Structure 1
Amino acid sequence: MKNIFKFFRNSGCHRRQTKKVILTFIVAFFIACGLIEIPAFPQFIQSQANPQVLIEQSRKLYDVGNFTEAVTVLQQAVEAFRAKGDKLGEAIALSNLSLTFKQLGQLEKAYSYITESLKLLTNLELKAQNSEFVLVQTLDIQGNLQLELGKAQQALESWKQTDNIYDRINDKIGQIRSQINIAQAQQALGMYRQARTTLEQVNQILETQPDSITKATALRSLGDVLQLIGDLDKSLKLLQQSKNIAENLKSTTEISATLLSLGNTQVALGKRSVTTENNIPQEQSTPLGCINRPASGDALKFYQQAAQSYEQAVNYSTSILTKTQAQLNYLSVLIQLNKWLEAQNLSAEIQSKLSKVPLSHSTISAQINLAQKLICFKQATGADVPAWKEIAQNYAVAIQRANSIKDRRLEAYALGALGGLYLENQNFNYAEETTQKALILAQEIKAEDIAYLWQWQLGYILKSKGDVRSAIASYTEAVNTLKSLRSDLVALNPDIQFSFRDNVEPVYRQLVNLLLKSDNNNLINQKNLKQARDVIEALQLSELENFFREACLQAKPQQIDEIVDKNDPTVAVLYPIILPDRLEIILKLPNDSELRHFTTYKSQSELESTLEKLQQYLKEPDQINQVKKLSGQVYSWLIEPTINELGKKQIKTLVFVLDGYLRNIPMAVLYDNKSQKYLIQKYAIAVAPGLQLVDPKPLERGKLYALIGGVSEERQIEGKKFTPLENVKLELQEIKSEVPRSQQLINQTFTESDLKNQINSVPFSVVHLATHGQFSSNADQTFILTWNELLKVRKFDNLLRLRDPSESRAIELLVLSACQTAAGDRRAALGLAGIAVRAGARSTLATLWSVDDRSTAELMSQFYQELANAQVTKAEALRRAQLTLLAEYEIPYFWAPYVLVGNWL
């Protein structure tokens, strides 16, 4: 193979890392229950039978790394046991032979010997011959081999068997070890939540136990899982605990492993900081393309800490493979920090080491990983070294080795990467042919997480060749594959949670761009318009699921089109879509099957720059002229093209399905320079998180029953200081006067447990929370303040979603009247959508910035007064309340931050 390409993410190969440990022999009829490190080589089994001399000799050879001679001696031992008719001794020798072949990288041979050993053990009377101890140890070896061969599901089943045996023989320590192994297999399968549950149970048991290697390993494993599902702060804390225990026990192997994990979490923290601050156009993104976002501030600090952790991991490691994996991750950080000379020297050292490591799934992954890093280095520096041919050789070797151990997943991945390398060099025909082969292989083994990458890559290649129709078909397949993966997106790659914008979102946006591109100014056909709209909705749902790391829409939704046509003929729905060179607008009018389409040719960079300035000025009360100027520009781009169509249908309410940075701006503030009116003065306004709403119904006005609460006093929690909200008591008092059937929780009584008890016992239709809160693109930084804690968005389904939103007792309206978007987070409004969906309320009214002023109490009082009118929708009630405030406070800072999300009826 002549050429090859793009890359494997940092933690993709170390997830199943194999660390060298001191292997001891075990005596037949007595299995030493010494604890092993996970993942690690299982204990080497020993016999007291007649061929003991051979077993002892092979043990010594194994310990000094002379595996070839150890194989010869163990084969003699197998024959000796067989001649004596000692099936248990033969099984033990076969298991040890399997371990030794594994060390030589001959995994298929290793697997055949462990299979033969288990066959013998299965036919023995386990209790009679006391061989259950041997069986459990052999199953453990099999599980490790299966995981190393990429057979994670089979490894899971093997370790479940060991868990059952340890339970049966009442070996609690062995059972803990098995459960850690089970979590490793669950992690390899992308079952991160199950792995978390398993490890949390293990850690509960170990909390009361003295420090041990097993305890350090369990904490590290849980830290790894938490990193993968995005709970980074807790991951960091647990990994530091694991490191402290390992250092106290002076276990260099465990110290090295934990430092490697610690570095991975620090990198993830750095990436999270970078992605909230920077935005890079995605039109040129390819499945494995390098995107090197400049790091500063917190991101730079985390990358520097990660570099230090990786360096220390290398120094502590006694395993060539673990050392190489740490160096690979260190190489990635050096490239991120623009340390080119150090990166070049380190890559050469890694290349040399990889040629000496035994063949396995991990070493092949490492080879692919190195090729990725070399491409990133080459793209970032433009250097001639390494040559493309040299990088290609890494992929060629990886493909051949994956094929030799029958690891078809790695083969499909490496083969697709080869297609990517052809693409990088604009050799489109070879790129297409190789990518097709990789795709066929991925589909044959039902590896959808790999298949979507090559469907996307194929679409990109076809687009580059000018075959738009075929490109659309391929992109569509990629999107459909992603839909089928849903909450398993995190399993695509351990980095995926922080590279969603690089590895997932571009698939959707590149497809929409193709669907909405007209040739020779021809009209876009209805099929393309409808598909483009569906694709954007799928993207927004995918964003939310990535936000939570799980499927988040469980109830049966109803199409907005259906609601508009049947329930409210005065509503129009606008779908603005931000593309690199233009703003596309799709308009759905009531009782009209034809979608309308408009294009404003403003670049993404200009649009986002305008929106960013507008967002800043909206929070500054003395900048009303700048607000009118900038919001007038956005109005001319987004609303003005649709005005004639809206007028014909006598539209009274606009529902926006917003895209990207537009979500940070309240649409109410868009300003028409011709009429000198804000949009709220013309229309009621709502925002929908997608094309579907959960069981939308008008509010039953005569049965309003509200739970109202908040925090008015200064609080300091989790290192954050929250200023007093002096007008909260007034706000709650005003609401109580408008909604007499109200239950109030204030300050000391406003806790999670009090909220939960109230919501679970009384069928409130409205929950109004007047307290500090923050929306962020990071779920861990999206919260509301209770008296004694920051209630994170992940807990909202346990708190507000105690009732099914499709039931009649569902919360109709959730109001968050003192929230704000996180500073410096370009995607912070994603947190608002997250809360709206997680809470399960049919509608959510929230603020995009906090206004601690009497005006908030006035607006809320007027809103609830209007809401009592059965003829007024929630969107119209909010509009009237905002207009009342606008008449008194012209400055948008006071009346504009309120956004109604979800059901507007």
Structure 2
Amino acid sequence: MYERSRSQSKWIEELVYKKEAVARVQQNALLSLEYYQQINNLANASTIVKVQAQLRSLRLLLDFDGWLLIQSQTSQRFTNTKININQQIQLLIDSIMKDSSSFDKLPINQSVHAKLNFSDSLNKTYNKSLQPVAIQYAESALQTAQSINNQLLQSFCWGMLGELKPDKSEPYFRQALEFAQSIQAWDIAYQWQQQLGDLYREQGKYKPASKMYQAAIDNLMQVRTNLLTSNPDTQFFFYEKVEPVYRNYLKLLLANPSTNIRKVIQLHEEFKITELENYLQCGKLNLISLNQIQDLDIKPTIIHVIDLSDSIEVISQSPNQPLHHHSIDPQLIKEHINNLVNVLQDKNLVYTSENVILAHSQALYRLIIAPIKYLPASGMLVFTLDASFQSLPMGLLHDGKNYLIERYGITGTLGSRVQPPKILPPKELRAFIAGLSKVSPSFYAPNAPKGLKALPGVEVEIANVKKEIPS
């Protein structure tokens, strides 16, 4: 419950729902911790169950503590909760270490996993004096895995040691990858390939980093169906495990001045399509590029807005023009997005001065659209937006004279790939047509803006639509 609500809170950008989501995360965290405590207090619970409950409770506490740290940067109401959680973390670590012999009472495979789990948790604490203890548990787990010659467990152990010993991480991750590949455990191999990719990226080694990220993505594509069907919280799994591989690869590509921007577009579109397939759980989508659509009246300009946390990347593809790319400092743009969305969602929007909207929509236009060199004067704009921009109505961006919607047709898609369009013959079109042409009782509802009038032109609109659709 906690993991699902925490993951969902990341996707929600609308400020109204963000507050509800934050409250739900805290509620589910505290409820889950209460459940674990109840299990631990059971007199007849087995050692296996109690150890698992303690280890999972510790992981939850550490994750919740990290979440609270982020929330406390914008609100003081989480301060007391964070202090309490910190105290619980230390008490639980002391309790587990005091009864560390319980690890050896578990079945051998579970014992290895339990030691690695605890080692990983110790590594996530702020107390760096626990680092040597974490290494001891990981090395003990490795010795056990080697004693039974279990290659999968050895892969996990070497990978954990790579995370614990950053100065020696490369040979450890390579050893972990070698064991995973030896048994064709591609669902494990991609993790070590990503770790190596991150390591090489930090070291400025472009080619080996690119090779590792591409291999990780290839392996993910190979096992994605099995991973998603075996994991009930597929969206949580996707955003926690799969998305970082794509994001870090995109960061690598864009950090190289000589990179092929078309490769960046291809990778971003691949990520967005994979994201949608995962969300719909629909298997592979049959998509075609926009330029494959016959008799398209207007060749669109495609604008990709990619959020990489430490930078916002804008890439545009205009018909018969070179690609354009520019970067934006997130600190310059995020406040305008939040303020504009907040204004537009406010129940008192009807009383808001247009100048308030223009202040933000013009600032966003200057940052996102104005630098694009090859923007046509009119036509169709197709936006591919990351989640942090999807609440923003792009048609409201203002160039100082007009809103974008006044000059262009505006739409959003997964980039230059769409579902093949199917044109229905007029005789197959059927429609129920209705419109509100008079003042209705809802105009007098307590939360309705004052002074509403009947919407003009409704009857004419309906008559015109009716002419086009015979049935």
TM range (shorter): 0.7 to 0.9
Cross-structure match for 1:679: 404
Q: Return the offset for 1:868.
A: 4.2
* Partner of residue 311 from structure 1, selected from 37, 62, 70: 37
Q: Does the CA-based 8 Å contact 1:558-1:694 persist in structure 2?
A: yes
Cross-structure match for 1:347: 93
Task: Name the aligned partner's letter for residue 338 of structure 2.
Answer: E
Say which structure is richer in helix.
Answer: 2
- Say if 2:127 is the partner of 1:383: yes
Task: Name the aligned partner's letter for residue 414 of structure 2.
Answer: P
The superposition leaves residues 751-776 of structure 1 with CA deviations (integer Å, 9 ceiling, x where unpaired) of: xxxxxxxxxxxxxxxxxxxxxxxxxx
Cross-structure match for 2:118: 370
Once the two structures are superposed, the pairs formed by residues 9-28 of structure 1 within 5 Å of their partners are: none
Task: Name the aligned partner's letter for residue 319 of structure 1.
Answer: S
Structure possessing the higher radius of gyration over alpha carbons:
1
CA distance in 1, matches of 2:412, 2:277: 19
Q: SS where residue 390 of structure 2 aligns?
A: helix
CA distance in 2, matches of 1:303, 1:853: 48
Once the two structures are superposed, the pairs formed by residues 630-645 of structure 1 within 5 Å of their partners are: 630-642=360-372, 644-645=373-374
CA distance in 2, matches of 1:703, 1:408: 64
The superposition leaves residues 776-810 of structure 1 with CA deviations (integer Å, 9 ceiling, x where unpaired) of: xxxxxxxxxxxxxxxxxxxxxxxxxxxxxxxxxxx
Q: CA RMSD in A?
A: 3.3
Q: Return the offset for 1:708.
A: 3.7
Q: Return the offset for 1:494.
A: 7.3
Q: Does the CA-based 8 Å contact 1:655-1:685 persist in structure 2?
A: yes
CA distance in 1, matches of 2:408, 2:379: 5
CA distance in 1, matches of 2:106, 2:212: 38
Q: 1:440/1:494 Cα in 2 relative to 1: closer, same or farther (>3 Å)?
A: farther
Cross-structure match for 2:142: 399
The superposition leaves residues 692-720 of structure 1 with CA deviations (integer Å, 9 ceiling, x where unpaired) of: 212124564x33623549xxxxxxxxxxx
* Partner of residue 309 from structure 2, selected from 577, 580, 584: 580
Q: 1:518/1:492 Cα in 2 relative to 1: closer, same or farther (>3 Å)?
A: farther
Q: 1:864/1:301 Cα in 2 relative to 1: closer, same or farther (>3 Å)?
A: farther
Q: SS where residue 343 of structure 1 aligns?
A: helix
Q: 1:541/1:369 Cα in 2 relative to 1: closer, same or farther (>3 Å)?
A: same
The superposition leaves residues 579-638 of structure 1 with CA deviations (integer Å, 9 ceiling, x where unpaired) of: 23433222223356x5x12213322x4423321211121232233222111111111122
CA distance in 1, matches of 2:463, 2:221: 39
* Partner of residue 696 from structure 1, selected from 421, 429, 433: 421
Cross-structure match for 1:454: 192
Q: 1:672/1:489 Cα in 2 relative to 1: closer, same or farther (>3 Å)?
A: farther
Q: 1:483/1:685 Cα in 2 relative to 1: closer, same or farther (>3 Å)?
A: same
Q: SS where residue 160 of structure 2 aligns?
A: helix
CA distance in 2, matches of 1:684, 1:628: 20
Q: Does the CA-based 8 Å contact 1:320-1:353 persist in structure 2?
A: no
Cross-structure match for 1:328: 55
Q: 1:615/1:439 Cα in 2 relative to 1: closer, same or farther (>3 Å)?
A: same
CA distance in 2, matches of 1:328, 1:469: 39
The superposition leaves residues 281-335 of structure 1 with CA deviations (integer Å, 9 ceiling, x where unpaired) of: xxxxxxxxxxxxxx95221111111111111112225310111001111222333
- Say if 2:392 is the partner of 1:662: no
The superposition leaves residues 193-215 of structure 1 with CA deviations (integer Å, 9 ceiling, x where unpaired) of: xxxxxxxxxxxxxxxxxxxxxxx
Once the two structures are superposed, the pairs formed by residues 551-630 of structure 1 within 5 Å of their partners are: 551-554=282-285, 556-563=286-293, 567-591=296-320, 594=322, 596-603=323-330, 605-619=331-345, 620-623=349-352, 624-630=354-360
Cross-structure match for 2:179: 441
Once the two structures are superposed, the pairs formed by residues 487-506 of structure 1 within 5 Å of their partners are: 487-490=225-228, 497-498=235-236, 500-506=238-244
Q: 1:579/1:480 Cα in 2 relative to 1: closer, same or farther (>3 Å)?
A: same
Q: 1:669/1:698 Cα in 2 relative to 1: closer, same or farther (>3 Å)?
A: farther
Q: SS where residue 105 of structure 2 aligns?
A: coil
CA distance in 2, matches of 1:668, 1:359: 60
Task: Name the aligned partner's letter for residue 225 of structure 2.
Answer: S
- Say if 2:430 is the partner of 1:706: yes
Cross-structure match for 2:268: 536
* Partner of residue 223 from structure 2, selected from 470, 480, 485: 485
CA distance in 2, matches of 1:655, 1:627: 23
CA distance in 2, matches of 1:531, 1:466: 19
> Please, which runs of 5 or more residues in structure 2 have no aligned partner?
15-20, 66-81, 439-451
The superposition leaves residues 27-85 of structure 1 with CA deviations (integer Å, 9 ceiling, x where unpaired) of: xxxxxxxxxxxxxxxxxxxxxxxxxxxxxxxxxxxxxxxxxxxxxxxxxxxxxxxxxxx
CA distance in 2, matches of 1:560, 1:457: 35
Q: SS where residue 382 of structure 2 aligns?
A: strand
Q: Does the CA-based 8 Å contact 1:486-1:551 persist in structure 2?
A: no
Q: Does the CA-based 8 Å contact 1:730-1:857 persist in structure 2?
A: no
Task: Name the aligned partner's letter for residue 502 of structure 1.
Answer: E
CA distance in 2, matches of 1:433, 1:562: 47
Task: Name the aligned partner's letter for residue 392 of structure 1.
Answer: I
The superposition leaves residues 315-372 of structure 1 with CA deviations (integer Å, 9 ceiling, x where unpaired) of: 2253101110011112223332542333223223334143431442222211111112
> Please, which runs of 5 or more residues in structure 1 have no aligned partner?
1-265, 280-294, 710-728, 735-851, 870-905
Q: 1:861/1:665 Cα in 2 relative to 1: closer, same or farther (>3 Å)?
A: farther
Total equivalences in the alignment: 424
Q: Does the CA-based 8 Å contact 2:4-2:233 persist in structure 1?
A: no
Task: Name the aligned partner's letter for residue 409 of structure 1.
Answer: L
CA distance in 2, matches of 1:867, 1:698: 18
The superposition leaves residues 726-750 of structure 1 with CA deviations (integer Å, 9 ceiling, x where unpaired) of: xxx535x99xxxxxxxxxxxxxxxx
Q: Does the CA-based 8 Å contact 1:632-1:672 persist in structure 2?
A: yes
Q: 1:588/1:361 Cα in 2 relative to 1: closer, same or farther (>3 Å)?
A: same
CA distance in 1, matches of 2:89, 2:375: 58
Q: Does the CA-based 8 Å contact 2:293-2:420 persist in structure 1?
A: no
TM-score normalized with structure 2 length = 0.80
Q: SS where residue 587 of structure 1 aligns?
A: strand
Task: Name the aligned partner's letter for residue 300 of structure 2.
Answer: V
